[in-house]
A and B are shown apart, each in its own frame.
Chain A
């Protein structure tokens, strides 16, 4: 038994020495695998990183497992509304607030409007909100204060700015300054902390005003665009969504079989939606990596055929000394296995480097795990062994007598 494993180890040793005796062959065979594995692992890593970042930001916005959104107007997810959307009201919210699982509701009016200061003018997201908006979205105020109940009650012409908006319109010194929205001047009373971006949605570009003010002074309408509902921890969101939907249908007189004039969106749907675009890209790039690996497999096969041809007298010698066809098979499979090992580890390391560089120079950051090493090696091994099979078979079937003469 001990002799058997010793024999096996030494057979592999023979193969390894033959492999490293020609570093150029090793390089050419491993190169394709390195590129393919690096592409696959880094793409996977960046995809995962993007997803993790989105989930993190959503959780940071208190949009974790116990919150959901109601959007005015029916239709597809984040697409444009395909029904009337002027039906969602604060009265609806008062009814929903009485539900047992509802902790808080934050209704909003939202619009992209021309906003200007002496320094800048551009279209910006303007949000009419309740004071609860701050806590329900876990916003911290960097300077000044948030909207207060007093502001709401008196329809105060005050606003709180996102970090980026404050910088762009006032160069950072925003408190006390005046901002014009739709011809109305608002005094800046607070600036929010920095939050980042979710996909293309820039969290730090926003102007928040009291909802009562936005109803009368900006949008000139009572109905709201959306509301965020925070549920009791541990609530089954699917059930909660159903209850809310039933109430809204009844209040909006939507019969059975009619299309809803609202949408209810949970955080997991947002994550899925935001990662869908990157998923298509990921799939495409994975296909490219896969092709790279197949191409490198074919390259390996051809170089292996050339090696078997070049080394056929040495193969015949091994046979004369007692190597069985099976031993020769193992020898050449071990050579492609060695190539795969080098290619897999090399690809993993190159992938790691790519992810580090991209994470350093761009806002995307990859999740690169030591565990990637195993699928990397596995994929390289499968490729190497699969494409090494035919050359190894040819080697094992060489006629020793003819070649040694």
Chain B
């Protein structure tokens, strides 16, 4: 691994980005790595655009530079496009196949965004995490866990740094009992989906 591996988690305030970032951070710690997880609290959490900076490496500074993200995990498509320039050339971007437009706004269609994304020097993966969460958990609340599992599945470097077993263990910091069990199941289904997607490319 190079000095620092950077994962940007982006989306809309309220989509569970902090939980995703903190679980990934916890998993890093369990894997014996140093990590910093830069969160966003306060005003932007009220439906605003949010970026969480996860930096894995020794004593990392807290903010990912533009062009410095090895992987972007996007919980929403407009936010995926908004923050795409954080990705380095040849980096990975995994996006939840879901558009949540700001009220009263004029916004590009799903096809337009996907088309433009595919024109970039980027490993781009789409995944319907809302749908999977709905099927396994009964609502979209765990779409963040599904995205985390999928992102690990598609990104060989990330999953060689952070072991899926440690992610599973890190879930325990947030969930207990039955809720933990379903989220663990969701994580694994999404992870296997990710592995399959990566093979296809």
Physical interaction between A and B: no
A positions within 8 Å CB-CB of B: none
